[in-house]
């Protein structure tokens, strides 16, 4: 794994590998987390987000941001959901936040403002997730 490319899909595979060797759950069938497991993962994510919020150096900010990403990817691993198609849907939805003039608008804090007529990716995401064949994600 040492010289492996580090694109988003291989990152998910690296996290899946970590889960497998560390005895952390890995789902082979897409399914929602139990309320207790979801609560634990959200708690861990909050801890890392808090660490990011209090980080003052670049190294500390990078470390905390990677920890947030690692935990988020681990959550997908535990749900048995692949990254590529759901991520593409959300990415396309974010790009659709461009206004009719092709530009993006931001609040004073930098949050992107959705234009009138913007559509949430949720309906397409629901169709995608509900169409996942049980057990077909990995052998």
Side-chain half-sphere CA neighbours of 34 within 13 A = 5
| Residue-level pLDDT at 4 | 52
Question: What is the CB neighbour count within 10 angstroms for residue 27?
Answer: 19
| Residue-level pLDDT at 82 | 86
Task: Report strand pairing: 105-106 vs 112-113.
Answer: antiparallel
- Write down the pTM of the prediction: 0.84
DSSP 97: T
- Which part of the chain has CATH 1.10.3420.10? 1-82
Phi and psi at 103, nearest 5°, equal: -100, 160
The angle at the Cα of 21, spanning 138 to 51, to the nearest 5 degrees, equals 100
pLDDT digit string (tens) for 33-56?
Answer: 999 999 999 999 999 999 999 999
The stretches in the chain having pLDDT less than 70 are 1-5, 8-9, 133-139
> Is the domain defined by 1-82 classed in CATH 3.20.20.105?
no
| Residue-level pLDDT at 29 | 86
Please enumerate in sequence order all residues whose Cβ is within 8 A of that of 111, keeping only pairs 6 or more positions apart, or say none.
Answer: none
């Amino acid at each position: 794994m040492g010289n492996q490319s580090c694109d988003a899909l291989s990152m998910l595979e690296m996290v899946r590998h970590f889960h497998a060797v560390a005895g952390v759950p890995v789902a082979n069938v897409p399914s929602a987390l139990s309320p207790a497991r979801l609560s634990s993962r959200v708690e861990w994510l909050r801890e890392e987000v808090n660490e990011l919020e209090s980080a003052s150096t670049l190294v500390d900010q990078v470390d905390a941001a990677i920890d947030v990403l690692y935990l988020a990817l681990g959550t997908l691993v535990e749900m048995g959901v692949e990254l590529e198609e759901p991520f593409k849907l959300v990415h396309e939805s974010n790009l659709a936040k461009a206004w009719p003039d092709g530009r993006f608008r931001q609040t004073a804090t930098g949050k992107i403002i959705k234009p009138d007529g913007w559509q949430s990716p949720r309906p397409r995401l629901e169709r995608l997730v509900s169409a996942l064949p049980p057990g077909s994600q990995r052998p």
